[in-house]
């Protein structure tokens, strides 16, 4: 369209904006956007009496009501130019709809050209980083194209993210050197992106960089925070190690080192410890508890708080929902050391999904069977009956649990079964 559309006279605008003519303008816009804004072709309309009357008044010729009434776009265009509007069909549509009429084919061509430029810039950046001939590059690029992870962000954001990712990969994956071990994530981001948050978790630059690293090291594309942290470590980059925590009560490392003594002192005082990745890394390879000691794990902090108030002495960890990397690392360390781990969570779909992930790590379900659920539901009162919402999740450790939950349609939160959990932590029941 050339120039800026001029406002329509108020009376004409009201006439053209009548609901009876709405289908005319929708059909005209659809046809124009498909055929490159050329005012050609014919509209086939289903006109009631009022619509036929209004359109007749605009065209200056009688139109009979009925289906399959045909009107040429060129006739509409000429009628509007001869009217008080003084403008053609495209301009009038933009005024009435308050948005441009778009040449869809041209827009697709422009978008394709912009994406072609993104991929060309990526090839240039890879060459500049001495990564163009890396064996993992073709599959990485194919994955980016296939998944649409960049398409959703747009060309400008994609170009920026790819540039930052490739610059960082050029530093971390030098072809003739082992990955460096001294980078902090914020320092790396500041160097290549000019912003300490440039590689924050799940940012586009971080996503595309870690996809590349996964291909480079022959690993799966990371899905969890723990997986992403592990891949950064493989690249020689230290991520945030202090904000995510796992709560620990009565964890008593048996060693003679200062950290182990400190943990035993805190256990003697009945204190809860917020363990971070930083602290677990500093603790190193010390034994985390007595060999063979069963460690219980819960989902909700209220359970751990109740255990502390009850002065239970068995070690208890709390993940506070989905585990942070600290919780995952601690559990993996305990499992690798041969400590039996048992996990309890909420009987709702997110809760059993977390239970499934804990079982996949090597934990055993703790009072998370269909029988446990049915017993709890039988004792629910009106104050604790909560409807089960969300999408069902398989319960591989006990398939009948998901069936029972779907049948009853009720959630049971950990706090409702506190007496049984505390009895287990006092050693009054066998492990469930």
Cα separation values, 262 from 141, 243, 303, 407, Å: 50, 21, 24, 48
Cβ 349 vs Cβ 374: under 8 Å: no
Domain residue spans of the chain: 10-102, 117-227, 245-425
Sorted by sequence, the CB contacts under 8 Å of residue 27 that are 6+ apart come out as 43, 44, 45
Angle at 345 (CA atoms; ends 341, 349), nearest 5 degrees: 130
Burial class (CB in 10 A: 0-12, 13-18, 19+), 48: exposed
Kind plus residue range of the DSSP H or E element containing 245? strand 245-249
Distance CA 302, CA 328 (A): 20
The answer to whether 68 and 100 are in contact (CB under 8 A) is: no
Tokens 């959990």 correspond to 421
**What are 342's strand-pairing partners?**
296, 364
Total Cβ atoms within 10 A of residue 242: 10
pTM: 0.58
What does the alpha-carbon distance between residue 24 and residue 379 come to, in Å, rounded to a whole number?
63
Architecture of the structural domain at 245-425: 3-Layer(aba) Sandwich (3.40)
- Better pLDDT: 223 or 347: 347
pLDDT in tens, 251-296: 999 999 999 999 999 999 999 999 998 899 888 889 999 999 999 9
For the chain, the average pLDDT equals: 90
The pLDDT, as a whole number, for residue 429 is 52
Do 45 and 73 contact (CB within 8 A), yes or no?
no
Residue pLDDT, tens place only, 4-40: 678 899 999 999 999 999 999 999 999 999 999 999 9
Contact between residue 413 and residue 346 where contact means Cβ atoms under 8 Å apart: yes
Q: CA–CA separation, 64 vs 44, rounded Å?
A: 13
Per-residue tokens: 325: 């990397």
Cβ neighbours for 62, distance < 8 A, ≥ 6 positions apart: 56
Rg (CA), the chain: 33
CA 301 to chain CA centroid, Å, is 25
Quick count: other Cβ atoms within 10 Å of Cβ 175? 10
Reported as type and span, the H/E element at residue 247 is strand 245-249
**H or E segment to which residue 270 belongs:** none
Question: pLDDT (tens digit, 9 = 90+) per residue, 195-230?
Answer: 999 999 889 999 999 999 999 988 899 988 888 988
């Amino acid at each position: 369209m050339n120039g800026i559309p001029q406002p329509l006279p108020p009376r004409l605008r009201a006439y053209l904006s009548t609901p009876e003519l709405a289908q005319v303008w929708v059909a005209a816009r659809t046809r124009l956007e498909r055929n490159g804004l050329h005012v050609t072709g014919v509209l086939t309309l289903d006109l009631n009496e009022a619509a036929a009357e209004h359109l007749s008044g605009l065209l200056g010729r009688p139109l009979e009501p009925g289906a399959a009434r045909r009107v040429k776009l060129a006739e509409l265009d000429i009628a509007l130019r001869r009217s008080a509007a003084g403008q053609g069909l495209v301009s009038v549509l933009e005024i009435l709809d308050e948005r441009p009429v778009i040449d869809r084919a041209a827009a697709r061509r422009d978008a394709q050209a912009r994406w072609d430029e993104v991929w060309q810039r990526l090839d240039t950046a890879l060459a500049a980083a001495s990564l163009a001939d890396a064996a993992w590059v073709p599959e990485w690029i194919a994955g980016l194209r296939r998944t649409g992870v960049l398409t959703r962000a747009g060309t400008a954001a994609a170009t920026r993210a790819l540039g930052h990712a490739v610059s960082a990969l050029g530093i971390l994956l030098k072809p003739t050197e082992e990955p460096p071990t001294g980078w902090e994530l914020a320092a790396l981001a500041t160097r290549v992106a000019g912003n300490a948050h440039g590689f924050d978790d799940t940012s586009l630059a971080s996503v595309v960089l870690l996809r590349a690293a996964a291909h480079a090291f022959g690993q799966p594309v990371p899905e969890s925070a723990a997986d992403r942290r592990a891949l950064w470590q493989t690249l020689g980059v230290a991520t945030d190690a202090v904000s995510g925590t796992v709560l620990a009560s009565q964890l008593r490392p048996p060693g003679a080192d200062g950290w182990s003594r400190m943990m035993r002192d805190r256990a003697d005082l009945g204190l809860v410890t917020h363990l971070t990745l930083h602290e677990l890394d500093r603790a190193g390879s010390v034994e985390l508890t007595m060999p063979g000691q069963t460690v219980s794990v819960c989902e909700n902090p209220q359970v751990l708080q109740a255990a502390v108030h009850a002065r239970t002495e068995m070690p208890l960890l709390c993940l506070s929902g989905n585990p942070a990397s600290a919780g995952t690392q601690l559990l993996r360390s305990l499992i690798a050391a041969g400590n039996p781990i048992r996990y309890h969570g909420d009987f709702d779909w997110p809760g059993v999904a977390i239970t499934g992930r804990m079982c996949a790590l090597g934990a055993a379900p703790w009072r998370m069977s269909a029988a446990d659920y049915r017993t709890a539901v039988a004792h629910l009162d009106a104050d604790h009956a909560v409807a089960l919402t969300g999408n069902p999740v398989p319960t591989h450790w006990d398939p009948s649990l998901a069936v029972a939950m779907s049948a009853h349609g009720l959630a049971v939160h950990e706090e409702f079964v506190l007496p049984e959990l505390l009895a287990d932590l006092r050693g009054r029941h066998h492990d469930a």
